[in-house]
Structure 1
Amino acid sequence: MEILRYVFLVFHLFGFAALLGGLFFQLRGKDPVTGSYMLSSAVVQLVTGAGLIWTRISLDLPVVHAKMGVKLALDVLVAVTALVGMRNKQPWAFYAVGAFTAAAAIVAVAWN
């Protein structure tokens, strides 16, 4: 079960890296758009984040439920905003995905 927790953690970080890397790459262009990579990365983050919570509970490791709830809510916001931006080609959605991703990273690092 410990190995599964690390697998979830690594893929969770891969999802974050894909989101943030894609955001910075899109910022180089004149008109940044929300792409399908954002939606797939957000779904990876959502699924692996839920898997991380499950494995921590299964291993009787300490879990701050408020923090995990906020992180999951931010991951859902990222996924929904990416979907809306992809479907409607709204420019605000691109920046909202970036803001929600940054907020999720801040919560993950700063909240003890």
Structure 2
Amino acid sequence: METLRYVFLVFHLFGFAALLGGVFYQLRAKDPVTGGYMVTSAVVQLVTGTGLVWTRISLDLPVDGPKTGVKLALDVLVAATALAGMRDRRPWAFFAVATFTAAAAVVAVVWT
């Protein structure tokens, strides 16, 4: 089970890297828009984050409820905004995805 937790953690970090890397790549464009890779990465974040919590509970490791709730809310916001932005092709959604992704990273690292 510990190995599965590390697999979820690695893929969770891959999803974050794909989201943030895509944001920086799109910033080079004249009109940045959200793409399918952002929706896919956001779904990866949701699935692997849920898997991380599940493995921590299964291993009787402590789970910080409020932090987990905030991270879940931010990940849902990223996914919903990326999906809406991919459909509408508006720049506001791109910048909202970037902001929510950065906020999720700050919560994950700073909130102890």
TM-score (norm 1): 0.99
Specify the SS of the correspondent of 1:46: helix
Which string of whole-angstrom CA distances, capped at 9 and with x for unpartnered residues, describes residues 71-103 of structure 1? 011000000000000001111000000000000
Task: Say yes or no: does 1:39 pair with 2:39.
Answer: yes
| Distance in 1 of aligned mates of 2:18 and 2:37 | 8
Which string of whole-angstrom CA distances, capped at 9 and with x for unpartnered residues, describes residues 55-75 of structure 1? 001000111011001001100
Runs of 4+ in structure 1 off by over 6 angstroms are none
TM-score (norm 2): 0.99
| Distance in 1 of aligned mates of 2:52 and 2:72 | 11
Q: Structure 1: which 5+ residue stretches go unaligned?
A: none
Identity of aligned residues (%): 79
| Matched length | 112
Q: CA deviation at 1:25?
A: 0.3
Residue matched to 2:69: 69
Q: For 1:1-112, what aligned pairs fall within 5 Å after superposition?
A: 1-112=1-112
Specify the SS of the correspondent of 2:6: helix
Q: Structure 2: which 5+ residue stretches go unaligned?
A: none
| Distance in 1 of aligned mates of 2:64 and 2:56 | 10
**Backbone CA RMSD of aligned residues:** 0.4
| Distance in 1 of aligned mates of 2:17 and 2:59 | 27
